Amino acid sequence: MLEIRFHGRGGQGAVVASELLAQAAFLDGKMPQSFPFFGVERRGAPVTAFARIDDRPIRVRTSVTEPDVVVVLDPGLLATTPVSEGLRPGGLLLVNTRTAAEALAGPVGIRRATVDATRIALARGLGTSMMPIVNTAVLGALSRASGAVSPEALDRAIAAFVPARPDANRDAARDGYLQVRAAPAREGPSAAPAHPRPPPVPIPEGPIAFLSSESTPTAAWRTFTPVIHRERCTRCNFCWKFCPDDAIELGADGFPRLRAAFCKGCGICAAECPPKTIEMVAEA
């Protein structure tokens, strides 16, 4: 049995990718299973989905905690989410990023692969520059890097189950298949996990929460970051006034400053800035 875990952000299509993978595996004659982790799926928020593929009916209904393959649809998640947690030795970490596979800081003993699915999606006109829909390009890359499904089955699954723009999605999958780059596992002693588990939360008697949500930054949600050019800023404070995340603060000098930990990159500040002095810049 092959177990796969998808990490993406709401709106990128991680859940659909997992389902499409299952459809393709079925067309390959396998017995697939796919399901999303049903939590707080908000556009831009981290989401998880799971898939299993086997020759026989699958006899387990749990989250995938020890995956053979981890697929990361958004490189920003590498810094905020323990994506490679539980990856089996010899497993595969596939990331949508411009970074070369050799440069990917995967855990020791894990094969690495990268694909610039964002560029492919934008070139194929899938999604917007704010939220490119990268799932089909990533699936193409996954097909080649892991052999989880055949490219032919993926083609057919996209044609049958992608309601919007199936042709562009099929082309994106083919691009992903051709452009994925693999690198062998890093060697050396395995380091401590980069994301230690947070200490357990004390449970009060009764369901009452006291901690501020500012203990949970949302920077990882954004694809674009506002850059405020002070030279043209008139200190009108529109950017502050209209921010749904209160992610702009006004300094004592009246100039706005970004509270980068909480900006989700919605772009309202840039759109509402009268002198157009805020620029939305793609995250690295």
Partner 1 sequence: MAKLTIPAEEWMFSGHAACPGCGPALAMRLLLKGLGPRTIVSVPACCWTVIGTPFPTTALRVGVLDNAIEATGASISGLRAAADALGLADVTVVGFAGDGGTADIGLQALSGMLERRTDAIYAMYDNEAYMNTGVQRSGATPWGAWTTTTPVGPAARGKPEPKKDVMGIVLAHRPVYAATLSPSFPEDFDRKVELAKGLRGPRFLHIFAPCPPGWRFDSAETIALGRLATETGVFPLYEVLDGRLRITRKVSTLRPVSDYLAKQGRFQHLTPEEIARIEAQVRTDWERLLAREREDGPAPA
Partner 2 sequence: MARKVLSGNSAQAYAARLARVQVVSAYPITPQTSIVEKIADFVASGELPAQYVKVESEHSALQVCLSASALGARTYTATSSQGLLLMHELLHWASGMRAPIVMGVVNRAVAPPWNIGADHTDTISQRDTGWLQFYAESNQEVLDTVLEAFRLAEDPAVRLPVMVAEDAFYLSHTVEPVDVPDPAQVDRFLPPREPHAVLVPGETARLGSFTGPDRYVDFRRQLARAVREVPRTLAEVEADYARVVGRDLGGPLPTYRADDADAVLLTMGTATTTARGVVDDLRAAGRKVGLAQLRLFRPFPDDTIRQLGVSVDRLGVVDRAYTFGPSGPVATEVGAALYGVSRRPLLTSFLAGIGGRDVTPHEVRRMFDTLLSDEPPSTHWEDLEEEAAVRG
What is the binding site for partner 2 (CB under 8 A)?
A: 39-40, 201, 203-210, 212
Query: What is the residue type of 95?
Result: V
Residues binding partner 1: number (CB under 8 A): 49
Asked whether position 201 contacts partner 1 by CB under 8 A, the answer is yes
Best CA proximity match to 201, nearest among 209, 193, 189: 209
Residue 265 sits in the site that holds partner 1 (CB under 8 A): yes
Measure the CA–CA gap between 266 and 11, rounded to whole angstroms.
Answer: 13
Handedness of CA 101, 98, 122, 245 (dihedral sign): positive
- Kindly tell me which of 204 and 274 has the beta carbon lying closer to partner 2: 204
- Binding part of the chain for partner 1, among 59-67, 90-98, 117-125, 263-271 by CB under 8 A, reads 263-271
SS3 71: strand
How many other β-carbons are positioned within 10 Å of the β-carbon of residue 161? Answer: 15
Helices 166-179, 151-161: axis angle to 10 degrees equals 160
Specify the stretch interacting with partner 1 by CB under 8 A; choose among 14-22, 80-88, 145-153, 260-268: 260-268
Question: Which is closer to partner 1, CB of 108 or CB of 260?
Answer: 260
> Which of the 8 DSSP states describes residue 88?
P
Q: Of the candidates 121, 82, 97, 77, which has an alpha carbon nearest to the alpha carbon of residue 221?
A: 77
Q: Pick what 206 binds: partner 2, partner 1, none; C-beta below 5 to 8 Å, kind-dependent.
A: partner 2
Which 40-79 residues touch partner 1, going by CB under 8 A?
40, 42-45
Question: Which residues in this chain contact partner 1 in the complex, by CB under 8 A?
Answer: 10-11, 40, 42-45, 128, 130, 201, 207, 209-218, 221-222, 234-237, 241-247, 250, 253-254, 259, 261-262, 264-268, 270-272, 280
